Amino acid sequence: MTALVFEYIRQTRKVFIELVDGLSIDELNTIPEGFRNNIAWNFGHIVVSTLGLCYRRTQVQPDRQIQFVESYAKGTKPEHWIGESEIHVLKSQALNTIDLIEQDYKNGAFTTVVPYSTATFGLEMDTIEEVLVMSLAHDNLHFGYANALRKAIHQQKSQLHK
């Protein structure tokens, strides 16, 4: 079952990358009226959140260094222009980090986790398998936000051209 969860996480991230690849850097950074973040932020957020949830929140590696965490952690919002080079790194990390987590899972790194719950879903997670399922749900939640942002951006563009 866990192998399937990893595949679903990877697939969600692949379609998220396709969404990102189909937009300009301006569109990725646009915050439409009524929103508080942009597509680039939502993408970066899933990349750093899964690492934080799997390693830090479980206390498996509470001091683990996570690139870009200051920009994309829960409670942050876009504070700077997210350039093409940062997007490129995030796209690479989106899949590489899942490979890393899966390898650590297979090597038994997550046999003992400290239970916790997230504000988003409110369910306590006692095992890494529960954390992974929640991470999949979290990725899809933000993919949905990104699709809503894309729609709003395209609607705003079409209204400007009328």
Q: Which amino acid is at 30?
A: T
Alpha-carbon 26 to chain mean position:
20
Tell me the C-alpha to C-alpha distance, in Å, between residue 16 and each of 20, 83, 90, 150. 6, 17, 11, 12
Task: Count the helix, strand and coil residues of the chain and give each as a percent rounded to the nearest 5.
Answer: 65, 0, 35
* DSSP 3-state of 129: helix
- Whether this prediction's pTM lies above 0.85 is answered by yes
Q: What is the pLDDT of residue 121?
A: 82
Which helix (H) or strand (E) element contains residue 124? Answer: strand 124-125
* DSSP 3-state of 23: coil
Distance CA 48, CA 53 (A): 9
Q: What is the pLDDT of residue 75?
A: 92
Q: What is the pLDDT of residue 162?
A: 63
Distance CA 72, CA 119 (A): 16
Full pLDDT tens readout for the chain, 162 residues: 799 999 999 999 999 999 999 999 999 999 999 999 999 999 999 999 999 999 999 999 999 999 999 999 999 999 999 999 999 999 999 999 999 999 999 999 999 999 988 888 888 999 999 999 999 999 999 999 999 999 999 998 777 766
Q: What is the pLDDT of residue 161?
A: 66
